[in-house]
Amino acid sequence: MTDVTFAEIEAAAARIENHALVTPLIENPVLNERLGLRVIFKPETLQRVGAFKFRGAYNRLVQMTAAEREGGVVAFSSGNHAQGVALAAQLLGMPALIVMPKDAPQVKVAATRGYGADVVFYDRLTDDRVAMSDALAAERRAVVVPAFDDPHIIAGQGTLGLELMRQAMAVGLVPDVVVGPIGGGGLMAGVSTAVKTLSPDTAVIGVEPEAFNDTLLSLQAGRRIAVSPKVRSLCDALESPAPGLLTFPVLQKNLADVVLVTDAEVGEAMRYAFQTLKLVVEPGGVVALAALLAGKVKLSGAKTVALILSGGNVDPAFFAQVLRGEI
């Protein structure tokens, strides 16, 4: 499978049923009043492993053959995909090795190990994580599970969009706009496919960190462009240097816009999510809310906006600094 269809997203939903959680669709009157909109949000912070990544990981691993399962899997990730793959592997009884950056949040490293995976570290600046993963997989006769550029991963992430739309429609709502984060594009490729199938008039908008604007640049140029930022972003989960080969054409077709947020806006949104929405949301997971609060989302008369809060895995000490306004 090289293309991701709505039918494949529905099939993924059937595969992950009884394994992934159906996260709620929530709204908050204080947020609605502040923005003068009806804002509904999907807190994947409540998903297994604390992020949407479990959806795609389980959908990919559950389709592996018995022979493939013997060798297990290798994945590279800064943390949320790592945890998703580690838990899916544990549930399916196969070994997992995760290649993680040395500076990955310790809460993500500890959780990945807690799900039974082995961890090997790499240096973001000097090591080629893809080459490392391929070499380790060859040694172990394992299957490499990409974080986003895989049709089964994309379909699994698309179940979030399917769920969101069906939950909204069940209470008589059709979002005018759906906003979510973009790293390599797996989430929003899958989500946008589900959303545009069920509601072609709904606009889908992606959000990137200001320093990692590869998808925006790629869409403007009409081809995939990689960035080489000289600075880090608070959003460790979204530091992909380029959109995926599979994800980019889908984003080209389905996205109405991509907007950028600063670290300061991300910090403000994390504080707002904690203080007002009563949710712990990690930097990469809060960018959709950050963009909306900063007035960066083109609403064009929209009355109902749906936000994806994609993950809540954040180191306690760092989170405390954010809450104190030190970051």
Closest CA to 237 of 162, 296, 287, 188: 287
Rounded Cα distance, 274 and 278, in Å? 5
Q: Which residue among the candidates 42, 53, 108, 196 is catalytic per the annotation?
A: 53
Selecting among 77, 192, 240, 310, the annotated active-site residue is 310
| C-beta of residue 148 within 8 angstroms of C-beta of residue 130 | no
The token pair at 149 is: 């550029």
116 Rama class: left (phi>0) / alpha (psi -120 to 50) / beta: left
Q: Is 230 a catalytic residue?
A: no
Token readout for 80 is 């949320």
Name the helix (H) or strand (E) containing 89. Answer: helix 80-92
Helix, strand, coil abundance in the chain, percent, nearest 5: 45, 15, 35
Q: Examine the residue annotation and report whether 310 is marked as an active-site residue of this protein.
A: yes
d(CA 37, CA 321): 30
Q: List, by residue number, the catalytic residues.
A: 53, 310
